[in-house]
Structures are given as structure tokens and as C-alpha cells.
Amino acid sequence: MSPPNHALALPETDMRQLTRLMIVDDELHDIGFMMQFFEEALSECSFETFASAEQALARLNFENEGGDNPALAEDPDIIILDLELGAMNGFDFLKALRKDETLRQIPVVVISGADTKQAIDKAYEAGANAMFRKPSALQDYRAMIGAIVDYWKKTARHAA
């Protein structure tokens, strides 16, 4: 079972307003739901979406990899990451991200259908800031996105 929504552990230093999101998920309908509900919750929101961890990591390392949307002008404020991807899974993506000095500070919220204690522990050990069970209903997506946005607004120190 996933930890309660109030257990999000996003870093509180040097955060900006939540406007730039990267979504890494190989399920196009899940990406669509997340984009829809983030747009509802945030007035100015830009997205970069990737169907593979390799593409997302290449983009973060400025290796001319583009997502399915226009590239973000800067690194994302937050990454929403599915664990069950292709050759490079979400765990491997997290480990690579956390090893990189320039990228390790980016908060990562993991969403996954796997909610065993082992999967949850492994995600946090790899560097996840929060983990949610992947919703199966639209209203659950709305609630999950709402929890992420509410927590961000309550805890982030907005850069001037």
C-alpha cells in the first residue's frame, strides 16, 4: 500500500512555482489524464512527456532528445514517473538521475500499479520523493494530482 498523500517528501529549497512538469509513462491515456488534471489545477503549466526513461534522461542531459511536446526551457520543477517502462525501468531512471550532480535535486513522484512493500521500499531507496498507486479511475487521477499540487503549494518556497 502507498504511503498517505500527506507523506510527500519534496525538497523545500530553491523551489519555483510548479509550472514545468515532465511525465515519463509509456501509457498515452495515463499521460493524457495527468496533463488534463494538472492543467485544471495549475493555470500556467508546461509539459514535456516521454514514453521511455531513456528518452527522458537524454533530454535532461541535453542530448537532443525531444519529448512529445515542445521542450521545456529549463529543467522540470517535478518529474512524474511510472516504474513499469521498457528496457530502462523507473528504478534505473531514478538511480541515474540521483547520481547526476546537476539533476539530483529534481523532485520525482512515482506512480505505479505495483504497490507491494518491496516495490515501495525499492522506489524510495532509488530516490523517489513520493509514491502513489497508479489510479484506475478518472476521479482517482484527479485526487492524486490534487494532492501533489496542494502539497507543492503548501511547502514550496517560490523563487522570486
* Extents of the domains making up the chain: 23-154
Q: From the CA atom positions of the chain, what is the Rg in Å?
A: 14
Tell whether the model's pLDDT for residue 72 goes beyond 90: no
Q: Residue 108: enclosing H or E segment and its boundaries?
A: strand 108-112
Please tell me the CATH code under which domain 23-154 is placed: 3.40.50.2300
**Mean pLDDT of the region 54-64:** 81
**What does the pLDDT look like over 74-128, one tens digit per residue?**
788 889 999 988 888 999 999 999 998 888 888 999 998 887 889 899 999 999 9
CB burial class (10 A; 0-12, 13-18, 19+) of residue 23? Answer: buried
* pLDDT at res. 91: 92
Strand order through the sheet with 130-133: 46-50, 20-24, 78-82, 108-112, 130-133
**Looking at per-residue confidence, does 8 or 34 come out higher?**
34
* pLDDT at res. 149: 86
- Residues of the chain with pLDDT > 70, as a percent, come to 78
Tell whether the model's pLDDT for residue 27 goes beyond 50: yes
Give how far Cα 128 sits from Cα of 16, 34, 44, 100, Å.
19, 18, 25, 14
